[in-house]
Structures are given as C-alpha cells and as structure tokens.
C-alpha cells in the first residue's frame, strides 16, 4: 500500500482496506488463473494497481460518471478505479470468463457496489457511458469504431467524453490517424518509478 499512498494520500481507511484486499487476492488468484504475468505478480502494486490509477492523474471523474472498462481481464484498470471512485459506476467487460471471475471475486470481497460485469464481446454491450477505458487491449484504430456508439454525448467532466487508454512504448504510428485530436500524457510526469518512463495515458474525445 505504501507506493499507492505516496501518490494518493487522500485515500480513506476504507479505500486502503480495499486496496489491501486486492493486493492479497490477486496473487492468490494468479496462482490458479494467469491474469497477470507470473514474472510480474511481485510488482503488482506499482505495475498494475498504481498504473491503473494513472487515469486519476489525467482526469478526475465527477460523481455519477459511467465508465466502461473494455477488455478488463482480471479487473484492470476497473477495480482500482472503482475503489478510488466509489461514486462512479464501472462496467467491466471481457471475453474470457475465467479472468472476469477473478475481477468479480475481488470486487465482492472488497465490497465494491459500483461495479457490474459482462462476459462477452464489446459488440454485445448496450447502454451509454461517459468514458471507455482500457489497458493495452488493442490498437486505437481498431478500438474507436467498436466503442464510439457507446459514448454518451452528454458531458459532465472536465474533458469531453471519450476513450482513455493506458499504453506504453512508441505510439507515434498508432496515434497518427488521430493526431489532430488525440492527447498523450506521460505518466512519468506523475509517478517517479522507472516502470513509468515509457507509460502513457492516451485520450481521444469521441463527442
């Protein structure tokens, strides 16, 4: 918890308890179902939980915001964001049922009442959301046509509704088709650990 608290000292005792539950359960589940690289599970707090919270550094969601986590796997970034934002609604979607089961169990044991789950393809998702978030799921050019219909045109946050992705490496070619509207924010501006030197938040308004 100490790395998360270093950057988010405002967390309540309840939120700290919930993160502690996640930190305990992910390794337990990972021994049965590979939701995080087995080589990387020891870096859970920084490389996965804190990384997911990079979206918080980019934009603060207002209460009542609706967020779709596309390709959530075992609940990243959705679960850490749901802990941070108890007044924001999160809908976590993944095509792999066994990974979604991990996210469901962690959400249940952490007492998260602001998270729903859907096992299936993004094309099966219905409803409207303010933001779609994802963590290294697919190329922007593939993702945008799949999620555009799901983004509400009613905006309530500091930035217009759209797509927020956690990505790494050289993104110059990937963002090129959207260069006039995309915003790339370096997570190294917020987090000082070496892991974040190449990590970015990529934001694309879709309204």
Query: Is this model's pTM higher than 0.95 or not?
Result: yes
Residues β-bridged to residue 120? none
Cite the beta strand spans of the chain per DSSP E.
66-70, 89-94, 115-119, 131-135, 162-168, 183-186, 199-205
Residues 6+ apart with CB under 8 A from 206: 132, 144, 147, 148, 151, 160, 161, 162, 163
Per-residue pLDDT of the chain (207 residues; tens, 9 = 90+): 899 999 999 999 999 999 999 999 999 999 999 899 888 999 999 999 999 999 999 999 999 999 999 999 999 999 999 999 999 999 999 999 999 999 999 999 999 999 999 999 999 999 999 999 999 789 999 999 999 999 999 999 999 999 999 999 999 999 999 999 999 999 999 999 999 999 999 999 999
Q: Rounded to whole angstroms, how far apart are CA atoms 1 and 122?
A: 33
């Amino acid at each position: 918890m100490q790395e998360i608290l270093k950057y988010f000292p405002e967390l309540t005792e309840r939120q700290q308890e919930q993160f502690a539950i996640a930190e305990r359960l992910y390794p337990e589940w990972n021994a049965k179902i590979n939701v995080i690289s087995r080589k990387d599970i020891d870096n859970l707090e920084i490389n996965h939980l804190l990384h997911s919270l990079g979206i918080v550094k980019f934009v603060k969601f207002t209460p009542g915001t609706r967020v779709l986590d596309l390709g959530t796997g075992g609940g990243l970034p959705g679960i850490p964001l749901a802990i941070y934002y108890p007044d924001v609604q999160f809908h976590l979607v993944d095509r792999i049922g066994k990974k979604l089961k991990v996210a469901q169990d962690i959400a249940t044991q952490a007492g998260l009442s602001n998270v729903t789950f859907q096992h299936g393809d993004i094309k099966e998702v219905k409803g409207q959301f303010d933001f779609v978030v994802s963590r290294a799921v697919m190329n922007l050019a593939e993702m945008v046509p799949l999620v555009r219909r799901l983004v509400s045109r009613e905006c309530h946050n500091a930035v217009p509704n759209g797509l927020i992705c956690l990505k790494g490496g050289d993104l110059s070619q990937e963002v090129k088709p959207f260069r006039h509207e995309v915003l790339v924010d370096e997570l190294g501006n917020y987090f000082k650990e070496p892991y974040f030197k190449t990590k970015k938040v990529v934001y694309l308004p879709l309204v």
